[in-house]
Amino acid sequence: MSAEDRRAMIVHAVLPLLMEHGANVTSSQIARAAGIGEGTIFRAFKDKDELFDACTAEALSPITCSTRSPKSPLTSPWQTGSSKQPKRSARTSSGWVR
């Protein structure tokens, strides 16, 4: 497996963990989800911050957003076919309002 493929595999394993645990996810949880040793994480990424940055970039990439399944934890209400749209916020000079 190439270094880039390994990084991508780790990122895809971490995305659901970040949704569940946030930044408190442990390297042990990451390794278990990816089916690798903890050391492999840090051979692929300098630290957890670099890994989280890669996860953020992947989650926000246009390809990922347009191909995400409706059951994905990162799915918006509009992608699920929900007829009920979320409340929108607006920025005013006095702050955010709904």
pLDDT at 78: 45
pLDDT at 47: 94
The mean per-residue pLDDT over the stretch 65-70 comes to 53
d(CA 65, CA 76) in angstroms, rounded, equals 10
pLDDT tens column, 69-91? 555 555 444 444 444 544 555 55
Query: 3-67 — its CATH code?
Result: 1.10.357.10
What residue ranges do the domains of the chain occupy? 3-67
Q: Answer left, alpha or beta for residue 87, where phi above 0 means left and psi between -120 and 50 means alpha.
A: beta
pLDDT at 61: 81
pLDDT at 62: 78
